[in-house]
Amino acid sequence: MNGKIVSWNVNGLRAVERRGLLQPFLKEHKPDILCLQEIKIDEESHKKTKVTFLGYGEHWNYGERPGYSGTAILVKSKFGVSKVVHGLGKEYSDSEGRVITAEFPRFYLVNAYFPNSRPDLSRLNFKRDFNNAILKHIIKLNKKKPVIITGDYNVAHEPIDLARPKENEGKHGYHSREREWFGKLLEAGFVDTFRAQHPNKVQYSWWSTRFGQKARTNNVGWRIDYFVVSKRLASKIKSSSILNQVQGSDHCPVMLEMDI
């Protein structure tokens, strides 16, 4: 069955809905599975919003800190989810609602909001621990059935994945320890679907808002949102794309179409 999976760091669910951009996006792209990161909403606040996902089964992992982090997986009913697990069993990161794992008949889907190591690198060790824990998690899952790992990885892997690699060498999001971990992920039997399909394509999924929309207007961006899959799923991929025309967040959605 052909399916369309979309991943989007919305940088605040309420904010993207207030701008009137969420429903038109769903209507146009019609994802079968939608993975959200950085929803920035707690359960009580969510109940009071008018945000709706008609036709989707909803699985939310809220962060404990109000207005911070959090993830969600929304699934159309025809794609049955047999089990959903929140977190990695690590209190230091699970309290931030960073990971949801959904089990489908033929694969696992892991939606993750990877930590930002911060400009002063004060969270580099936190991110290292998170990265190692999630890698262990997906390797274990991969022994049972193939895995799709999507989300905001908060790292550009190679120079082609950001507009100004020399200027950002050693900085957060392009630190050698972060990039080396991404390499280990691929070496463990996984494929970066966009780069596999588009070896030389320059396209980004995030733009700094430090100077308003200037970075996005000038396309000074980073590719930090990925679909990574088990190698044995590679032949099932129809397309892997970046929807950089979609507004509403400092990130744009990424999409994977495949036989699921």
Q: β-pairing, 33-37 with 2-9?
A: parallel
Look up residue 116 and give its two tokens.
């930002």
| pLDDT recorded at residue 1 | 76
| pLDDT recorded at residue 77 | 79
113 assigned to active site: yes
| pLDDT recorded at residue 143 | 98
H or E stretch including 126? helix 124-142
Cα three-residue angle 53-221-212, rounded to 5 degrees: 75
For residue 1, what is the DSSP state?
Answer: -
Sign for the CA dihedral angle at 183, 91, 56, 247 comes to negative
For residue 235, what is the DSSP state?
Answer: G
| pLDDT recorded at residue 250 | 97
Contact assessment for residue 255 and residue 6, using Cβ atoms and an 8 Å cutoff: yes
Helix (H) and strand (E) counts in the chain: 9, 14
Q: What is the distance, to the nearest Å, from the Cα of residue 2 to the centroid of all Cα atoms in its chain?
A: 21
CA distance 142 to 232: 10
**For residue 195, which phi and psi values (nearest 5 degrees)?**
-70, -30
For residue 146, what is the DSSP state?
Answer: -
Which entry of 56, 108, 113, 226 is annotated as an active-site residue? 113
| pLDDT recorded at residue 237 | 97
CA distance 18 to 36: 16
CA distance 131 to 115: 9
Which of 134-167 are b and which e, b meaning 16 or more Cβ less than 10 Å from the residue's Cβ? bbebbeebbeeebbbbbbbbbbbbeeebbbeeee
| pLDDT recorded at residue 51 | 87
| pLDDT recorded at residue 2 | 87
Look up residue 205 and give its two tokens.
């999924």
CA distance 133 to 117: 16
| pLDDT recorded at residue 166 | 98
E strand residue ranges, 106-192 = 108-113, 147-152, 190-192
Domain ranges of the chain: 2-259
CATH number of the structural domain 2-259: 3.60.10.10
Look up residue 90 and give its two tokens.
């690590």
152 assigned to active site: yes
CA distance 174 to 228: 18
| pLDDT recorded at residue 80 | 80
pTM to 2 decimal places:
0.97
For 107-128, write each residue's pLDDT tens digit: 999 999 999 999 999 999 999 9
**For residue 19, which phi and psi values (nearest 5 degrees)?**
-75, -5
CA distance 257 to 242: 12
Low-confidence spans in the chain with pLDDT less than 70: none
| pLDDT recorded at residue 23 | 92
Which entry of 42, 152, 225, 250 is annotated as an active-site residue? 152
| pLDDT recorded at residue 92 | 87
